Structure 1
Amino acid sequence: MSTAPIRIMLAGVGPHARRFYLPTLSSLAKDEPISVVGAVELQGAENQARSALEQHGFSGSVLGVPRFEETLPPEVEQQLDDWVNEHRPRVLIVATDPLSHKPYVLWGLKHHLEILLDKPITTRRDAVSSLDAANGIEADFEEILLALQEARRTIPINISVCAHRRFHPGFDEILRLIREVCGHTGCPVSDVHAHHADGQWRLPEEIRTQDHQSYHAGNGKASHSGHHFFDMIHRILDTGSASGVVWDTAKT
């Protein structure tokens, strides 16, 4: 058992954090000295966030902030700076709307926090129809990478993207079967059809109004559950190789 306390700050206490992160952290806390020392939630939802923390055995403070995208407002940054100096978290879990991922990640790196980041790394409003917005996602990645490299000059911290399908036993079996078939046939994977129902049935009004894993911000499925396509397809393609032949060198 580890003796060093793991002090965690949770940014975003929405449906995903309540369903996934808080139960997992509560379970881990039975064997490890884990504490959620505080959380950040949108203004107006602070009481629900406190109730969620208490339900899973945590009593950290909750800071309410306004909704923002891409850039951290100076007054919010000052509030967060004061909060982190008071509570001294070691880990930042970012479970906010993906439109807010980048400012939280950059802020966490400024304070040399280990970061567990929800998928996707970032997104932009209207990325499905605006080339500038789509290019902005790449620019976000480069900016975060530079900030991470700068932070690592001081302390060897990491950013880990929570793309948990890669640990699912069903996908392990898929990869095993691909290796087996490829070994017998000498043929790489050459075509993949990816479909994901997400276990949800969105009614028309919910498509227009629902903020969690939304479809109304112009960034679509690839900015939430569709991220698994990107995370797993390259593993599927890379797994299927034989005698030096892989998917991107195969000839028709």
Structure 2
Amino acid sequence: MTPIRRHASRTGHAREDDMKNFLVVGVGPHARRTHLPALAAGQASGLVGTMCGVDLLGATDVLVPYDADDGPRSLPVTLIEPFDSRLQALPDRVRHALDTVVERRSIHAVVVSTEPAYHMVYTRWALERGLSVLLDKPLSVHADASTDPRQAGAILTDFDDIMECYRQTRHTFPQLMVTVQSQRRYHPAFWRIRECIAEVAAETSCPVTSIQSFHSDGQWRMPDEMIDLSYHGFDRGYGKAAHSGFHFFDIVPWLLAAGETSGKELDAVAVHAHITRPGDLLAQMGVRDYERLFPAFAARNPYTEPELRSATRLFGEVDAFISMAYQSRGRTMTLGSINLVHNGFSQRGSLTPAHASLYKGNGRVRHETHIIEQGPFQAIHLHSLQTLNDGTPSADPHAPGNERHVEVHVFRNRTFRPDWVKYAGFDFGTLAATSESEVALPTQESSRRRATWEFLEYLDGRRTREGMSSELTGHRRGATLMAGAYLSMAQQWTGASPVATLDFRAAPEPASAPAQGQVEAVL
């Protein structure tokens, strides 16, 4: 198909009547909860025209309901036949169906929110047609990535390949944009942390010397659900590191970059992952344990424990504790860990889940911490510790355990620098107060909305390329960490070295990309 050519304004962006219609590829629970409401808000503000969706036959209906700010809505969906995720290009019948939607509905931009193994093939198709892309995380993943080193390494190859496609396409469509929905880059708590790191680095030339990140979401899967429920599951040979791990593979390098100074740029990373798989969970809590805890489990569960072990042998990771050594010119500059937990504290208490996919709800809660040391000069702690709202009134809705709990603690060496404040604390209220608008709340939901809003502003000519927080060009290091984690897992599976050492230099900016018009960027 000939690329769709659009008329550009003086700022290099498409005209208003050409740029508002969106195609959402993949309209599952995540898109209905995140992307569709954000786009509907864009419609209300005049940034988005029409919306339509694409999904697989059998996955959804031709009309998908979702909740918008102004009430329930529905999205028209074109259904396509399933195809193999290992394909490098869309099958002819699928490509023709998508091309028809693009032409008939005058689509300008695409949201890719499919199962991650399909992210690259849809993004490549969109770029070939001159369509800007809002890409969900992770950038890509491959079946059996935790057991096959080739599939693990392909995660990084995918990034390099799509970057080259992006560079080439921008010769024809200089205004084209690919941005990644990495919401922690839009979170006021992480803005504050990055500012603190940069301030101390500028005054001392000391980089971040250690960083520990932890995330648990309490996705309690019972033994039979390991096999029977595949959404955000482990049956494709990958798990937690691909589900929500990319957020941390992304935000850690984003923070480390604030501490890099001349001569101390990070150029390599060594990665070592320790993981648990479903078979390990069965050792922790077996079928007999579940029969004792839930008397009805025996009647529901059709599998013996040996059958469960056999069926899940090649499944992906449930929990992953990953250590990193970040290097510059052969010396270790920063030690780090990213510890990712599905099998953690949960508020699920019933045998039958409230929602069949286990994606949201069902007792899932987020416990997240980051501990950052900048040599002898600064320590930073972020804590976000939640539990489900059980209806119990609280005098402080932002206290630990409540839905809006987030706090940042900053400690500085005032003995060394008397003008430094030795301690500063930021809670939900003060983090929100430092934002420039009421919508910039320190919550994941608000940050996701801002990520989409930034993309819409760019397409409307209100924001420059330089003002984008999460353009594809800034994501090679995150892809490197994710590839390194899976390479470590897969190499251990095959009996090779448990440590994967990779180039950690950031991707160069496209040299041929023309400068954008001068538009003030405001978060």
Report the TM range for the smaller structure's normalisation: 0.7 to 0.9
Asked if 1:137 is matched to 2:137, the reply is no
Q: Which amino acid aligns with 1:50?
A: V
Find the aligned partners of 1:106 and 1:241 in 2 and give their Cα distance: 32
Question: How many Å apart are 1:194 and its aligned residue?
Answer: 1.7
Q: Which residue of 2 aligns with 1:20?
A: 34
* C-alpha contact 2:63 2:77 (8 A) present in aligned 1: no
Task: Answer 1 or 2: which has greater helix percent.
Answer: 1
**2:207 partner SS:** coil
The structure 2 residue matched to 1:79, chosen from 90, 97, 106, is 97
**1:106 partner SS:** helix
Find the aligned partners of 1:184 and 1:203 in 2 and give their Cα distance: 52
Q: Which residue of 2 aligns with 1:70?
A: 86
RMSD in angstroms over aligned alpha carbons? 2.8
The higher relative CO (CA closer than 8 Å, separation ≥ 6) is in 2
User: Cα–Cα, structure 1 residues 201 and 174, in superposed 2: closer, same or farther, change >3 Å?
Assistant: farther
- Name whichever of 43-52 and 55-64 sits farther off: 55-64
Q: Which residue of 1 aligns with 2:253?
A: 234
Q: Which amino acid aligns with 1:62?
A: T
**1:195 partner SS:** strand
Unaligned stretches of 5+ residues in structure 1: none
Find the aligned partners of 1:236 and 1:192 in 2 and give their Cα distance: 9
| 1:200-241: CA deviation from partner (whole Å, max 9, x where unpaired) | 333334443433333221122222310012211112222235
* C-alpha contact 1:13 1:49 (8 A) present in aligned 2: no
The number of residue pairs the alignment matches comes to 251
Question: How many Å apart are 1:56 and its aligned residue?
Answer: 5.0
Question: How many Å apart are 1:124 and its aligned residue?
Answer: 0.5
| Structure whose alpha-carbon radius of gyration is higher | 2
Question: How many Å apart are 1:116 and its aligned residue?
Answer: 0.6
TM-score, structure 1 as length reference: 0.85
Find the aligned partners of 2:159 and 2:256 in 1 and give their Cα distance: 23
Q: Which residue of 2 aligns with 1:188?
A: 207
- Name whichever of 167-176 and 121-130 sits farther off: 167-176
* C-alpha contact 2:33 2:66 (8 A) present in aligned 1: no
Q: Which amino acid aligns with 1:68?
A: D
Unaligned stretches of 5+ residues in structure 2: 1-14, 267-326, 334-523
The structure 2 residue matched to 1:214, chosen from 233, 244, 267, is 233
Q: How does 1:31-110 map to 2 (within 5 A)?
A: 31-47=45-61, 49-52=63-66, 56-57=72-73, 59-71=75-87, 72-110=90-128
Find the aligned partners of 1:153 and 1:246 in 2 and give their Cα distance: 30
Runs of 4+ in 1 over 6 A off after TM superposition: none
Question: How many Å apart are 1:94 and its aligned residue?
Answer: 0.3
Give me the identity figure in percent: 33
Find the aligned partners of 2:47 and 2:260 in 1 and give their Cα distance: 44
* C-alpha contact 2:130 2:169 (8 A) present in aligned 1: yes
Question: How many Å apart are 1:245 and its aligned residue?
Answer: 5.1
Find the aligned partners of 1:178 and 1:152 in 2 and give their Cα distance: 34
User: Cα–Cα, structure 1 residues 205 and 35, in superposed 2: closer, same or farther, change >3 Å?
Assistant: farther
TM-score, structure 2 as length reference: 0.44
- Name whichever of 228-237 and 53-62 sits farther off: 53-62
| 1:138-172: CA deviation from partner (whole Å, max 9, x where unpaired) | 22223222322232221121211111111111212
Task: Answer 1 or 2: which has greater strand percent.
Answer: 2
The structure 2 residue matched to 1:125, chosen from 138, 143, 164, is 143
**1:240 partner SS:** coil
User: Cα–Cα, structure 1 residues 158 and 180, in superposed 2: closer, same or farther, change >3 Å?
Assistant: closer
Q: Which amino acid aligns with 2:235?
A: H
